[in-house]
Amino acid sequence: MNWYYALNGQQQGPVNEAELQRLLQVGTINLNTLVWREGLPDWQPMSSAMPASSSGAPTPPPTPESNLTEVAGVQFNVENKDVYVQQMREGVLSNTNQEYAGFWIRVVAKLIDGIVQNIIFYGAMFILSLVGIDFMSSLQSIGPMEGDPSPEQMAKFFTAIGLMSAVGFGFQIFYNGIMVGKYGATVGKMALRLKVVNADNSPITMGKAFGRAFADIVTNFTCLIGYVIAAFDLQKRALHDHIASTRVIVSR
C-alpha cells in the first residue's frame, strides 16, 4: 500500500508502509506528521492514520506552551491553524505567527495616503496650469447648464468627467505601484509600520505592485465592501489582496 507524507510543507512519496515506519524510527517524520493513502478521506496525523505505529515509537513530550501545536513538523499557534492550512493549500508555508495589519489601522493608512495623494495631485495640477495645461478648463468651457442641457453640453460634460477620472485613477495606480513596488509600502503604511508582502512574507515585485494597484481600483467600485472584508478575513486581506495574493503585515 502506497503512502504519502508532508515534510516541510511539501508532499513526499509514494512510499510503502515499511518505509514509512523506517522514516518514523529514524526521526525523519513523527506521529504528528500528516499522511495520506488511497481510501482515507483526507490527510491525517500518522498517529491517527496508523494507530499501530504509536506503540512502536516514543510519544513526543507535550509542548510547554499549551497554545502551540504541530503539523507537518512545523509549530504554530492553535489560533492560526486555519491560516496554516490555507497556506498549505496554496503551496506556501510562512511564519504563521506573523501579525497581519488589522482593518482600522489600514483605514488610517488609507486616509494618510489620501491626504498625500491630494497634495501631490492638486499641486501638480496647479503647476501644470501655470504652464498652460489646465484640465479643469475643460469643465469650465461647458458653461452654465441651466434647464435641459444640450447634447453638446452633455457630451463635453461626460468627456471632461471621464478625463478627470482617468487622470485621478492613473495617478492613484502610479502612486501605489511605485511606492509598494520600490519600498513595499505607501507613505501611509510606512507611517504605521505596515508592509505589503507575498503569501510567504517575501517582498512583491514591481509588476505585482502595479497589478495590486489596478486591483485596488476595482475595490473602489465595490461600495467599500472590498475593503470591509478585511475586517473578517483570517489574514486581514481586502479584495485587492485576494486578487493579487498579497498580505499587509505589521513590520517589526
Mean pLDDT across 108-132: 87
- 30-41 pLDDT, tens digit per residue, is 888 888 888 888
Q: ∠ CA(120), CA(231), CA(70), 5° rounding?
A: 120
**Cell output for 195:** 508592509
- Residue 23's contacts (CB-CB under 8 Å, 6 or more residues apart) are 5, 15, 29
Task: Provide the pLDDT for residue 227.
Answer: 94
Buried b (16+ CB within 10 A) or exposed e, 201-227: eeebeeebbbbbbbbbeebeeeeeebb
Task: Provide the pLDDT for residue 107.
Answer: 95
Ranking 38-52, 142-156, 209-223, 224-238 by mean pLDDT, the lowest is 142-156
- 66-87 pLDDT, tens digit per residue, is 455 555 445 555 555 566 556 5
Mean pLDDT across 228-237: 92
- Residue 195's contacts (CB-CB under 8 Å, 6 or more residues apart) are 184, 185, 189, 248, 249, 250, 251
d(CA 77, CA 88): 15
Ranking 19-28, 52-61, 148-157 by mean pLDDT, the lowest is 52-61
On the 0-12 / 13-18 / 19+ scale of CB atoms within 10 A, 244 is buried
The listed range with the strongest mean pLDDT (50-54, 120-124, 130-134, 213-217) is: 213-217
- Which of the two residues, 220 and 82, has the higher pLDDT score? 220
Mean pLDDT across 199-220: 93
- Which of the two residues, 130 and 194, has the higher pLDDT score? 194
**Percent of the residues in the chain that have a pLDDT greater than 70, as a whole number:** 71
What is the residue-averaged pLDDT of the chain? 79
| Residue position matching grid coordinates 495645461 | 133
- 125-143 pLDDT, tens digit per residue, is 788 778 766 655 655 555 5
